[in-house]
Amino acid sequence: MKKRRLNFFIVFFITFSLILTPLKLAETVSSIGFETGVVVIDAGHGGIDGGVTGKRTGVKESELNLDVCKKISDCLEEKVISSVLTRKNQEGLYGLPTKGFKKRDMNKRKNIIDNSNAKIVISVHMNSCPYPERSGAQVFYKKGDEKSLKLAKKLQEKLNSLPESKKKSSVLTGDYFMLNCTDKVAVLVECGFLSNSHDENLLIKEEYRKKLAVIIADTIFSYLFENAMI
C-alpha cells in the first residue's frame, strides 16, 4: 500500500512539473535551490557607434538594443535567472573615442563574457538593408555549433510566431565576433529591419520591444531548463 502511494506521488509530481508555466518552473528551481545559470546579454553598439538608424524616425539602433536588453534582464530576473549586461547605458565600452575604439569595445565585451561564468550569450541588434522590403527578426549562430543552433532554432520559431511577423525566417550562420569570441552557447538576434517601415513602426513601440524581450527570456529559460543547465 505504501509503495503504491509512493508511486502515485511520483507520477503526480512529474505530471505537475510538465504543465508548469515558465514562471512556475523558475519558482520551482529557486525553491529546490539549483544553481541558476548566468546569461550575458549584449546590447550591440553604443557611444559614438550608434549602429544603423531608422529610415523614417532616425532612431538609433544602439538605443533600441539597450532597451530590449534591459527588458530581457528584467524578465530573467523574474525567473530567478541572473544576467550580466555588457552595456548598461548609452556609452560605449572603448574608453576614449580614439583610433581602434571598435576593437577595444569588442574586446571589453569578450572580457565581460570570460569573467561572467556565462552559460548563454545573447547579442541583440537591429537590422538594415538597401532593399526596404526585407523585414522580420533573424537569429544567427556560429557554424558548426550544434548547441547554439538548437537555441537559435527555438528562438527563431518563437519570433516567427509573433502576429506582427510578416516574414517567417530560418536561422542563419554568422561570422560575428560575439559568436566567435566564446565557446558558450551564443546567438545573435536581429530584432527587425529599421530600413523597413513596418518593422520600424513596431520597434519604436515600447510594448513591442517588451514582447520581444519576453519571448527571448522565455526561450532562454526553457533552453536552460531542458538542457539541465540550471
Decide: helix, strand or coil at residue 40. strand
Q: Are residues 24 and 125 in the same domain?
A: no
168 with 75, same domain: the answer is: yes
Question: Residues 140, 152: contact at Cβ < 8 Å?
Answer: yes
Provide the pLDDT for residue 21. 47
Least confident of 59-63, 143-147, 166-170: 166-170
Are 134 and 163 in the same domain?
Answer: yes
Question: Is the same domain home to 21 and 46?
Answer: no
Residue 40 shares a structural domain with residue 109: yes
pLDDT at 8 over 50: no
What is the average pLDDT value for the chain, to the nearest integer? Answer: 88
Per the structure, the complete domain to which residue 10 belongs is given by 1-33
pLDDT band at 4 (very low <50, low <70, confident <90, very high): low
Q: Quick one: which of 71, 50, 69, 68 has its CA closest to 59?
A: 50
pTM (2 decimals)? 0.84
Beta-strand ranges (E) seen in the chain are: 38-43, 83-85, 118-127, 138-141, 172-173, 185-193
pLDDT at position 56 over 60: yes
pLDDT greater at residue 193 or residue 38: 193
